[in-house]
Amino acid sequence: MHKKARGGSCEGEKSGAQSGVEDGLAAVDFPLLSMFNAFISTAARHNKKADDRQIKDRLEQLRCPFTWNLLIEDSEVPNLENRVLEQLEFLDNSHNARTHNLLAYVKHLNGQNEEALECLKKAEDLIQKEYADHLDRRSLVTWGNYAWVYYHMGRLAEAQTYLDKVEKTCKKFSSPFCYRMEDPWMDSDEGWALLKCGGRNYGRAKACFEKALEVDPDNPEFSAGYAITTYRLEGFNPTTKYKTSFSLQPLRRALKLNPENVYVKVLLALKLQDVGKKAEGEKLLEEALSSQSSQIYVFRYAAKFYRRKGCLDKALQLLKMALEAAPTSAILHHQIGLCYKEQLRKSRGKDPKQASSTLRLAIAHFEAAVKEKPTFGLAYLDLANMYTKGGEYQKAEDTYQKVLSLREVNKSLLQQIHFRYDQFQERHRKPEGDARACSSRGLNVDRESDAQGKIVSALEKLSIRPSSE
DSSP 428: I
The ranges assigned to domains in the chain are 75-182, 183-291, 311-403, 409-469
DSSP 2: P
* Predicted local distance difference test score (pLDDT) of residue 244: 58
Cα(342)–Cα(461) distance, rounded to whole angstroms?
27
Tell me which of 192 and 464 has the higher pLDDT. Answer: 192
Torsion sign, CA atoms 250, 255, 258, 261: positive
Q: What is the pLDDT of residue 407?
A: 80
- For the segment 433-469, what is each residue's pLDDT rounded down to a tens digit? 454 445 445 545 554 555 555 544 544 444 333 333 3
> Angle CA(205)–CA(193)–CA(88) in degrees, nearest 5?
135
Q: For the purposes of burial, counting CB atoms within 10 Å of the CB of 418, is it exposed (0-12), middle (13-18) or buried (19 or more)?
A: buried
pLDDT bin (cut points 50, 70, 90) of residue 347 is: confident
Average pLDDT, the chain: 86
Collapsing DSSP to helix, strand or coil, 6 comes out as: coil
pLDDT > 70? residue 17: no
**Residues 350-373: pLDDT tens digits?**
889 999 999 999 999 999 999 999
Q: What pLDDT sits at residue 382?
A: 97
User: 48-57, 182-191, 237-246, 295-304: which range is least confident on average?
Assistant: 237-246
Architecture of domain 311-403 in CATH? Alpha Horseshoe (1.25)
Which listed CATH number (1.10.260.40, 1.25.40.10, 1.10.357.10, 1.10.238.10) goes with 75-182?
Answer: 1.25.40.10
Q: Domain 183-291 sits in which CATH superfamily?
A: Tetratricopeptide repeat domain (1.25.40.10)
- List the Cα angle 190/68/411 in 5-degree steps: 90
Closest CA to 145 of 174, 122, 175, 170: 122
